[in-house]
């Protein structure tokens, strides 16, 4: 598995885009996303095992509900699984909690990106993994959980905020709190 400080691998994946269903056509439902699509932004790329499952839609809906807060921090959320873009489309269309999805779901059907990241498990699906990538393409945060445990989008937003300070942030640090000033630390 890649680690903190490594470059996020180059990728080019087809995604189901987050357009409104009333304006949805086959021509606008899908787009290709690559490393340069969101140049200058932080990326929050989360991988989930499969569409049409139980924990995954709770995470997807949770990240979608907070999409504007991530956008305010110059961050783009990208979801990804090994399912095809058509499966993403069908799941979103027929699963009410993710009807209003506000970010793209990428398809890593060939398992290229998840293999490069080292998160393809023995069952042939991705681990429940999340990467925060800075605008220079460097991995700054990695979270991998057991498949039975969903992630907390609020915690991911907190970590993104901490990383963006460029400072030392103590345990349980929250935005607008002071960071650690080494000049004031007594040894």
- Per-residue pLDDT of the chain (187 residues), as tens digits, is 999 999 999 999 999 986 665 666 667 789 999 999 999 999 999 999 999 999 999 999 999 999 999 999 999 999 999 999 999 988 888 888 888 888 999 999 999 999 999 999 999 999 999 999 999 999 999 999 999 999 999 999 999 999 999 999 999 999 999 999 888 887 7
The total domain count for the chain is 1
The answer for residues whose C-beta is within 8 angstroms of residue 49's C-beta and 6 or more apart is 56, 81, 123, 125, 126, 127, 128, 147
Task: Measure the CA–CA gap between 105 and 132, rounded to whole angstroms.
Answer: 16
Q: Which of 18, 56, 114, 169 is catalytic?
A: 56
Is 172 among the domain residues?
no
Q: Examine the residue annotation and report whether 80 is marked as an active-site residue of this protein.
A: no
Domain limits at 108? 12-151
Is 187 among the domain residues?
no
Q: How much is the pTM?
A: 0.94
Is 51 among the domain residues?
yes
């Amino acid at each position: 598995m890649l680690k903190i400080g490594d470059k996020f691998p180059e990728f080019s994946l087809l995604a189901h885009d987050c357009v409104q269903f009333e304006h949805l056509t086959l021509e606008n439902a899908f787009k290709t996303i690559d490393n340069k699509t969101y140049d200058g932004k932080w990326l929050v790329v989360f991988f989930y095992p499969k569409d049409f499952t139980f924990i995954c839609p709770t995470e997807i809906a949770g990240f979608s509900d907070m999409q504007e807060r991530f956008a305010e921090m110059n961050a783009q959320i990208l979801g990804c699984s090994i399912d095809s873009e058509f499966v993403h489309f069908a799941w979103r269309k027929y699963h009410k909690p993710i009807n209003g999805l506000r970010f793209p779901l990428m398809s890593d059907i060939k398992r290229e990106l998840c293999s490069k990241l080292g998160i393809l498990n023995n069952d042939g699906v991705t681990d429940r993994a999340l990467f925060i990538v800075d605008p220079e393409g460097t991995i700054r945060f990695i979270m991998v959980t057991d498949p039975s445990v969903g992630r907390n989008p609020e915690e991911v937003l907190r970590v993104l905020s901490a990383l963006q300070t460029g400072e030392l942030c103590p345990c349980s640090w929250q935005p607008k709190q002071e960071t650690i000033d080494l000049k004031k630390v007594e040894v």
